[in-house]
């Protein structure tokens, strides 16, 4: 089982870490320009797209669990149908987002309350990057489908390709053409559409046998679509609550001034590196848990859960040591502004303990996704957001200042791990 977990996890870790590393490069590009507002614009633009795209994260998560269970049952027709249904939802949603961009921007900037200069630059970034929406959401579906088929290599290829293309064009637009945050947005659009084209080619190259043999009316039949929407609805609500937490965190940072916003955006990059790293084992758990539930194999299911935790927590401890020893050196990679670094160092203790407090809930997420158990994920997230995170921040903000945000986020992650552990006996099992 360890070999199976590592076979899936290692490509996922490499793939996942390349995502925050690219975001970190973007942050560093803006952090070394003349004005702090460039960094703030990227942070605000990122928050908006977290709402837009993370809210559709069910297109990857729901697709992985459903595909893995169909794969475990050796139901090839259902495997193919799941991808088609997910792509229909993804492309339709992407086109809707483009049409609704003005409304999304107006609401987002009203809520985030950034300075006028930051808002102007973030607006330019938003209205360019929005045209990647159909490609981005379709890639979510392809990533989830490949993982459901126990294929972690194709998501790795796609992620690295997209990030390399993105990185090349970001440097070109920023340093060669003199653009700012809008240059990063242009790079993202080009990279996402390139990635979708390659995903389609990879699908036809290896999985032609899964081509659709059913009429469209059968693909869109009510019971199949209802199942996808039922599972995805709960994951969607769960994800919105998670996005709300991080967006609230960023919005309150912005209210504290551009320097606090810039510092916290850098520290959140380190949290992202942790999350994406441990998620490599969570993604492996998704694939294997779904497969063994589909194959009705409770022994392998229990072994997968146990060993996924061992690997995920081990990586978390390693990252905690890295942040402890090299924290300040890492910060200098993001910005050369000493005032920002000093603010970051004052909050560095929260980043050091994060791998120890956050890893459990990340692994549980993967296990529940593989089991397509959306209800407990939704309930846990709503409880932790509105009865832990928000009350803790509001209770301690006067005494602790911006540290109250980090305290609230830390307790939020701990509560997620505890509540998901409590639900596990009921939901993580093989049913007859």
In tens, the pLDDT along 224-242 reads 667 777 777 888 899 889 9
With a pLDDT cut of 90, the percent of the chain lying above it is 35
432 belongs to a structural domain: no
In tens, the pLDDT along 329-377 reads 888 887 778 888 898 898 899 999 999 999 999 999 999 998 989 899 9
**HEC profile of 113-156:** CCCHHHHHHHHHHHHHHHHHHHHHHHHHHHHHHHHHCCCCHHHH
Q: What is the mean pLDDT of residues 398-408?
A: 90
> How many domains does the chain divide into?
1
362 belongs to a structural domain: yes
131 belongs to a structural domain: yes
- Of 257 and 329, the structure prediction assigns the larger pLDDT to 329
305 belongs to a structural domain: yes
Token pair belonging to 68:
């893995």
Confidence at residue 210, expressed as pLDDT on a 0 to 100 scale? 65
User: Of the candidates 344, 315, 75, which has an alpha carbon nearest to the alpha carbon of residue 210?
Assistant: 75
Distance CA 51, CA 108 (A): 9
Q: What is the mean pLDDT of residues 42-69?
A: 80
Of the ranges 71-85, 125-139, 201-215, the best mean pLDDT one: 125-139
Q: What is the mean pLDDT of residues 110-129?
A: 77
Across 237-268, b (16+ Cβ under 10 Å) vs e yields: bbbbbbbbbbbbbbbbbbeeebbbbbbbbbbb
Is pLDDT of 61 > 80? yes
Q: DSSP letter string over 164-223?
A: HHHHHHHHIIIIIS---HHHHHHHHHHHHHHHHHHHHHHHHHH-GGG---S-HHHHT-HH
Is pLDDT of 432 > 60? no
Is pLDDT of 114 > 70? no
Residue 295 per-residue DSSP state: T
335 belongs to a structural domain: yes
Confidence at residue 236, expressed as pLDDT on a 0 to 100 scale? 85
- Which long-range contacts link 79-84 to residues 24+ away (Cβ below 8 Å)? 79/148, 79/149, 79/210, 80/210, 80/211, 80/212, 80/213, 80/214, 81/212, 81/214, 81/218, 81/219, 81/224, 82/145, 82/148, 82/228, 83/141, 83/142, 83/145, 83/203, 83/210, 84/212, 84/219
Q: What is the mean pLDDT of residues 237-254?
A: 87
Q: For residue 211, which phi and psi values (nearest 5 degrees)?
A: -60, 150
- Of 255 and 385, the structure prediction assigns the larger pLDDT to 385
Domain around 37: 2-427
With a pLDDT cut of 70, the percent of the chain lying above it is 88
Position 23 confidence tier, pLDDT thresholds 50, 70, 90: low
pLDDT, the chain, mean = 85
């Amino acid at each position: 089982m360890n070999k199976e977990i590592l076979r899936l996890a290692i490509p996922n870790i490499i793939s996942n870490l390349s995502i925050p590393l690219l975001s970190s490069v973007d942050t560093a590009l803006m952090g070394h320009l003349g004005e702090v507002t460039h960094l703030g614009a990227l942070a605000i633009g990122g928050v908006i797209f977290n709402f837009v795209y993370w809210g559709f994260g069910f297109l990857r998560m729901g697709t992985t669990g459903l595909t893995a269970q169909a794969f475990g049952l050796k139901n090839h027709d259902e495997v193919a149908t799941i991808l088609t249904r997910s792509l229909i939802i993804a492309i339709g949603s992407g086109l809707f987002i483009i049409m609704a961009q003005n409304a999304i921007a107006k609401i987002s900037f009203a809520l985030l309350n950034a300075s006028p200069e930051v808002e102007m630059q973030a607006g330019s970034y938003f209205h360019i990057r929005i045209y990647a929406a159909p490609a981005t959401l379709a890639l979510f579906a392809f990533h989830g489908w490949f993982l459901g088929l126990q294929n972690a290599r194709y998501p790795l290829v796609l992620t690295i390709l997209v990030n390399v293309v993105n990185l090349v064009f970001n440097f070109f637009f920023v340093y060669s053409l003199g653009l700012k945050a809008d240059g990063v947005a242009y790079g993202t659009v080009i990279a996402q559409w390139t990635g979708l084209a390659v995903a389609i080619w990879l699908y036809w190259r290896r999985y032609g046998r899964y081509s659709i043999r059913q009429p469209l009316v059968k693909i869109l039949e009510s019971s199949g679509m209802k199942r996808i929407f039922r599972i995805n609805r709960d994951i969607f609500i769960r994800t919105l609550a998670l996005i709300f937490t991080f967006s609230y965190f960023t919005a309150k940072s912005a209210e504290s001034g551009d320097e606090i916003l810039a510092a916290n955006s850098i520290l959140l990059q380190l949290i992202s590196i942790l999350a994406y790293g441990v998620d490599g084992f969570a993604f492996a758990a998704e694939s294997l848990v779904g497969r063994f539930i589909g194959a009705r194999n409770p022994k392998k299911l229990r072994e997968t859960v146990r060993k996924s935790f061992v690997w995920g927590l081990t990586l978390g401890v390693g990252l905690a040591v890295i942040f402890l020893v090299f924290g300040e050196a890492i910060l200098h990679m993001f910005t050369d502004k000493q005032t920002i670094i000093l603010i970051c160092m004052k909050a560095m203790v929260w980043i050091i303990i994060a791998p120890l407090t956050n890893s459990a809930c990340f692994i549980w997420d993967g296990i529940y996704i593989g089991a397509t158990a959306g209800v407990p994920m939704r309930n846990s997230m709503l409880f932790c957001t509105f009865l832990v995170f928000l009350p803790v921040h509001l209770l301690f903000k006067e005494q602790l200042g911006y540290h109250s945000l980090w305290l609230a986020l830390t307790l939020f992650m701990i509560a997620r791990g505890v509540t998901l552990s409590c639900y596990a006996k009921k939901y993580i099992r093989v049913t007859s």
